[in-house]
Amino acid sequence: MPETLGRDDVVRCPNDDLEFRPYFTEGMCPLCGWSVPTPVARPWTHTADWVWLTFAALVLASVVMIIVVLVAS
């Protein structure tokens, strides 16, 4: 078994024998909620701090607006 489970790794639940890909179920069995003992890789969109990314985008947009106004006047 690899150290972390990626998007193509399939795991079989010991409780209900269901095969699933924990990458898409946040490491939990969709039927009984059993959680996979191996850590599951998470897409960067889930681990990124969107508050700061949004704030940075807002600041960047403001700076661009200031430059546009200064250039136009």
Q: Write a three-state SS string for 1-42.
A: CCCCECCCCCEECCCCCCEECHHHCCCECCCCCCECCCCECC
Tell me which stretch binds Zn ion (CB under 5 A): 4-12, 22-30, 53-61, 64-72.
Answer: 22-30
Residues 40-59 that bind Zn ion (CB under 5 A): none
Q: Pick between residue 8 and residue 17 the one whose CB is nearest to Zn ion.
A: 17
Minimum separation from the CB atom of position 41 to Zn ion (A) = 20
DSSP 48: S
Query: By CB under 5 A, is residue 36 in contact with Zn ion?
Result: no
